[in-house]
Amino acid sequence: MRLWLVAREYDTRQTVTLTYAAVDGRRVYTRQASVELLRRNPVTAAIDRERSNTERVGEADRRERYAAEAERMAADHDPADEV
């Protein structure tokens, strides 16, 4: 399934948490990577993952927020665009 980048959070350990969501906001995939790794492998607007590798989003407000951001990313970017 196609998932769009909806959030990017940095922490004090030089780690970045990337959150990708389906355009309906109901499924999400999260990964963590070091800042150094992301310099070598840039973040793209979208990724493809098997549904079994995603998690269900339970909270309605989070689903709506993720859906809005995923729809915006899908409208503004090609999946392979570096963002």
In a domain, 81, yes or no: no
78: which 2 tokens?
A: 């090609």
Closest CA to 5 of 51, 49, 56: 49
* Number of domains the chain is built from: 1
In a domain, 48, yes or no: yes
Q: For 5-50, what is each residue's pLDDT tens digit?
A: 999 999 888 899 999 999 999 999 999 999 889 889 989 999 999 9
In a domain, 40, yes or no: yes
Residue 63 has pLDDT above 90, yes or no: yes
| Domain with 48 in it | 2-76
pLDDT score, position 12: 82
pLDDT score, position 13: 85
pLDDT score, position 39: 87
Are residues 23 and 72 in contact, defined by beta-carbon separation less than 8 angstroms?
A: no
Amino acid identity, residue 45?
A
pLDDT score, position 25: 97
In a domain, 55, yes or no: yes
Mean pLDDT to the nearest integer, 39-66:
95
In a domain, 19, yes or no: yes
In a domain, 82, yes or no: no
Q: What is the pTM of this model?
A: 0.92
